Each structure stands twice: as structure tokens, then as C-alpha cells.
Chain A
């Protein structure tokens, strides 16, 4: 069964720092990996989607990399701002059929606090 781990579980930094959030997964047979942001009590907002054949994706101050063979992804946040405070979740979509069809496997998230 696919297991997804995120490190660190929590991160508190001053505004302006460049950040690294880590995600690892145990089974490299994936279609893609997706990074989400979740504000307290809210739904999930998709930040970046990386296909299994891709190495990285960028959107504004966010950059996500994927090393499928080693089962790792990293989310870089440049010049962090207080508005970046949220929980960041990574999720992998596995290859295969049957019980794995369509499902996402989530990590437990990194809770980020950026203070002014």
C-alpha cells in the first residue's frame, strides 16, 4: 500500500525566508503528484501538479520538484509571506486499477506559519 510522509510536520518562520517542504512516497508507480494548500476549516486548493514524467513545475513563488525513482518531492516557497500560512498537503495518484482506481494518497501535511 502506498504511504506518503511529509516533513516537517510544522514550520514557523519569519517573513521573507525561502522554505523547503518535503514529501516522500513508498511506491514509485504513480501517475502524478499534486501539492495542495488548505486553510483552517476550508477545502483544498491545488497549487501544483507534476506528472510522473516531469521533473518540476513552477507557479509564481512556488516550485515543486519530483524524483520518482527515489520517491521524493519538494515544494519550494520563495520569499515567504504571512499569507502563505496554511497547511500544505502532498498527494500521489497511483497507477493501477481496482482498489487504487482514482484515489489519492495523502501525507499528513506540513503546517506552515509565517510571521511578520
Chain B
């Protein structure tokens, strides 16, 4: 298995909703990442988990809450989002450098 699987592919949520994004990989990668990408822009790093521990939080608002239950799973819990949070959310995984990254196909999130 050489893939990163993200679910759901599309999500529409209201500003008072609570939802979660899920990411799964079975490549044995010990680093996992959440990126946010707005239209016509490059991906922006949100969180890095290394060996199931949060190692980087890029000053992301607390309405985004990451979780890494085990080495294969990464979740992003969403609560009280704003319309400007609408974006493509990408999960990725990697082995320690100098290995490359593998990205998932993303979740298209729309906040209404």
C-alpha cells in the first residue's frame, strides 16, 4: 500500500457544526502532516506529528484540533469554523529525511 487515504472527499458544514477529517496510511511512515490549500495558492503547513506526538503547530486557531490516535491514523477535528476556513485540506506522510512525501487526495471543505 503506497497511498494516503483521506475521508471524506467533500464536506459542507455550518459554522456551528462539529466535524472531523480522517487520514490513514499503511506505509509505516512515522511523520504525518496537515496542510491547508486555498485556490491558486501553494499548500500551507498546519500541523506536524512525529512518532504520534505533535511536533509543530503553525499557530493554527483552536477551532482546528488535530489528533493522532496511532501511527497510521491522523484526524483533524473541526468546530465553529468560519467561511474563510473553506479550502482543500491535505494530509501527507513521510519517513525521516531524506525520504519524500506522499500526499492524499484531499478533503474539499466548504463552510456555510
Tell me how far the C-beta of B38 lies from the nearest C-beta in chain A, rounded to whole angstroms.
12
24 A–B contact pairs at CB < 8 A?
A32-B100, A34-B100, A42-B106, A43-B90, A44-B43, A44-B103, A45-B103, A46-B100, A46-B101, A49-B100, A91-B101, A93-B100, A99-B56, A101-B50, A102-B33, A102-B55, A102-B97, A103-B48, A103-B56, A104-B43, A104-B101, A106-B42, A107-B42, A108-B41
Tell me how far the C-beta of A27 lies from the nearest C-beta in chain B, rounded to whole angstroms.
15
Q: At the interface, yes or no: B102 with Cβ under 8 Å from chain A?
A: yes
Are B97 and A93 in contact (CB-based, < 8 A)?
A: yes
Chain A residues with Cβ under 8 A from B73's Cβ? Answer: none
Nearest to B108 among chain A residues (CB) is A41
Chain A residues with Cβ under 8 A from B45's Cβ? Answer: 103-104
Tell me how far the C-beta of B7 lies from the nearest C-beta in chain A, rounded to whole angstroms.
13
Are B50 and A106 in contact (CB-based, < 8 A)?
A: no
Chain B residues with Cβ under 8 A from A34's Cβ? Answer: 100-101
Chain B residues with Cβ under 8 A from A108's Cβ? Answer: 41-42
Count of A-B contacts with CB under 8 A? Answer: 64
Contact for A43 among B48, B50, B106, CB less than 8 A: B106
Where the two chains meet, the residues of B that have a C-beta atom closer than 8 Å to any C-beta of A are 6, 31, 33, 41-43, 45, 48, 50, 55-56, 88, 90, 92, 94, 97-98, 100-106, 108
Chain B residues with Cβ under 8 A from A32's Cβ? Answer: 97-98, 100
Nearest to A33 among chain B residues (CB) is B100
Chain A residues with Cβ under 8 A from B94's Cβ? Answer: 102
Contact for A41 among B43, B56, B88, B102, CB less than 8 A: B88
> Interface size on A (CB < 8 Å)?
26
Are B56 and A102 in contact (CB-based, < 8 A)?
A: yes
Q: At the interface, yes or no: A81 with Cβ under 8 Å from chain B?
A: no
Nearest to B97 among chain A residues (CB) is A31
Contact for B98 among A31, A36, A99, CB less than 8 A: A31
Nearest to B55 among chain A residues (CB) is A101
Bound complex: CA A45 to CA B104 (Å): 8
